[in-house]
Chains A and B, each alone.
Chain A
Amino acid sequence: MSIDVVLQVLVGGILVGGLYALVAFGLSLIYGVVRILNFAHGTILAVTGVAASLIFARWQLSPVLIFILLVPSVFLLGAVFYRGLLHPLERRSPLEATIGTVLVTVGALLILSDVTAVLAGPTQRNIMLRSPVIEVGNIVISVTQLAILAAIVVMTLVIHAILKATWFGLAVRAVTQEPIAAELCGARSLQVKTLTFGVGSATVAIAAVLYVLTFPVDPYMGFGLTVKAFTIIVVGGIGNLPGALIVGVLLGVAEGLVGLFWGPEWSPAISVILLLLILVAFPAGIRWRRG
């Protein structure tokens, strides 16, 4: 098998992996700060993706405009969802809070998928952009793919910068690492948590628009992505975005290579096997040293 075949697979893997990572960012933020496992996380991508493709089909808006339209709305919905339905559970006993969040997020998942299927139809959709391709030797990359890759890199940098340089980022990092101390130091936890839930959801919305530019979405597809995103944050370290990006890309590439050398029908198993292996080796997730 020639080297450019492998390189081609790498390009595809990096693209998919980058999208996985974007989905994982949101989950990582939310899990790190709010300690809630949002089962509906991937479903937000499915729903936003469907919405984006509908908007595109109806008005032919540019993806950037769709972005500007959808991302703030999802931010708001995320924040409201947290404030209205999840935050009140924190007053309960730890067991009740856990069970309550599971039920609420699973319920939300069902509702989101079903309402979307009824409103938009259950069929699969995507956004078709005709874009020229660039050929480097035997390797082919489309301009859309390049743009998506660029967007993933930019988004990672932006989120990273927000976490490093703003009050919100500081609060998020503080709450992720030392919840009680952070509260004592004045990081108002409710406000931070609400913002985080909004930002985490908005990140998925961003991922959704990029996703639907390359791959089709349907209202029921979200949960598989949630599992992948969780794999990524467990392996990459909770709250560690660069780690999530690296692991996401590695996961995407691994899926591609397994498809190449073993058989594409085994690709979906990779993330699960990876998750189980890592968890068994590091039962509490991996804690990377922060440099």
Chain B
Amino acid sequence: MKRFKHMPQFLTWLTGITAAIATVGFAVSTPANAKIGSCTEPIVFGTTISESGPFSTLTSNWRKMTEIFAEEINKEGGIKLASCGGKSVPLKFAIYDDQSVPATAVQLYERMASVDQVDFFVGPDWSSLGGPVPPIAERHGIPIVMGNVATPSLYQRGYKWVWGTPAPAVPRWSERYFDMLTHVQPKPQTIFFLTHDNPVMKAITAFWSRKAAAQGLKVVGEETFSADLKDFTALIAKVRGAKPDIVYLSSFDNPSVPLVQQLRQLKVHAMDVHHTMLTGALAKQVGNDLEGMTGELTWFPSVKGPYADLFDRVMQRTGITMFDSIWTLARLDSYIVMIQAIEKAGSVDREKVQKALYKGTFKSPAGDIVFDEHGFPDTGAFTIQMQNGKVQVIWPPDVATAKPMWPSPTWQ
């Protein structure tokens, strides 16, 4: 039988895999964690990263970054524990790929809780995972500080063990930008919101369109678009018809690439076009089209807050920049907040760490992170503008690296 010619190798291979599963996969792996109270073994943070699947476009190199972060922490001794007489204990990560699939993430967190027996959870991102994962932490009584989970309703479920460091938080997202708008001359009168169909972005528009109206800006249009949309002509035609002073793009960076390009191509005029995620990924794809646009940046290395050098070093060694990978700050914040909480508690006792986190205030390069009673932070962002191909912080004036160019000359 000719068609079975290749069978034997294939079967051997298949049997090999099956055997491997049987032996490795189903055997209970050895736990990698520290015994509570031990002062020699490392403290293990368990986390998943969306390394494959739809969200992986946002997490480039995070595994490497996370490993380097642990290295850098350990270089300086590790995590200080009062219960060990001020001795430091090294940090270690257990990292898995959640494939951007909630069910997979749930399995992996259960695995880290019961098989790997990690000490603490840090970092899952996105609402899809921020919904199903925290109940696992609750059930096991393991403190979790999530990364980019920015939907406030996900925190209001009566959790005791759950925090998050999304940056910026929706109610503070464009705070500084709208503050700036009250100071610039000529004063803008109208604003048009274009919103990417995503929970966080929709929440931003909902919150900031109310604020805009409250401070006397007339909202002349609100439109939503899906992430798959490539041809924005119709949307832009509406913007052109409304002639707004400000075009406010509430969108992730990637879905808005064709939008920004087409805004330029179709010669939209405005005092300013503002993007809630003015990132390097966007800049790489649209290049000069970004010139003169304003946006938010959660942090940039010239803001020398606490841990700024650490973050800067980690990101440099990994080869990523804040501007390229805007989600990175929230990720690293979740790590650093957990470390501070442990040091504050002075031990790896989960109960004590939980108490330390509750309504706590933590240091981060971008300023203090203050948790409310739901575990939601109050992180803000800086207003930036692309000037001559460079990112300049233009508001608030005390940390600004350049003056705002107003009205933005590229949109005239």
Contacts and interface: CB of A to CB of B under 8 A. Distances in A.
Q: Does a CB–CB distance below 8 Å link A and B in the complex?
A: yes
Interface of A: 1-2, 5, 8-9, 11-13, 15-16, 88, 91-92, 114, 117, 121-126, 128, 130, 133, 135, 140, 142, 145, 214-216, 218, 220, 224, 252, 255-260, 263-265, 267-268
B265 A259 contact: no
A125 B52 CA distance: 17
Contacts of A258: 234
Interface residues of B, number: 40
B3 A91 contact: yes
A224 B229 CA distance: 11
Given A121-B60, A264-B232, A268-B229, A130 B52 contact: no
A123 B231 contact: no
Contacts of A15: 231
A259 B267 contact: no
Interface string B218-244: 000001111011111111111011000
10 contacts: A5-B238, A12-B262, A92-B3, A124-B285, A126-B257, A130-B287, A135-B267, A214-B258, A259-B231, A265-B197
A128 B286 contact: yes
B316 interface: no
Contacts of B257: 124, 126, 215-216
Contacts of A256: 231, 233-234
Contacts of B288: 130
Contacts of B241: 1-2, 5
Given A128-B286, A259-B235, A220 B229 contact: no
Contact of B52 (A114, A121, A214): A114
B104 interface: no
Can you list the 8 inter-chain pairs with the closest CB atoms, starting with the nearest?
A: A12-B233, A259-B234, A260-B234, A264-B225, A5-B237, A122-B56, A16-B231, A124-B254
Contacts of B281: 123-124
B265 A260 contact: no
B233 A220 contact: no
Nearest to A15: B231
B365 to A, nearest CB: 24
A260 B228 CA distance: 16
A128 B56 contact: no
A130 to B, nearest CB: 7
A213 to B, nearest CB: 11
Contact of B226 (A114, A124, A135, A265): A265
A224 B230 CA distance: 12
A114 B234 CA distance: 34
A12 B258 contact: no
Nearest to A127: B285
Interface string B252-281: 001001100110011100000000000001
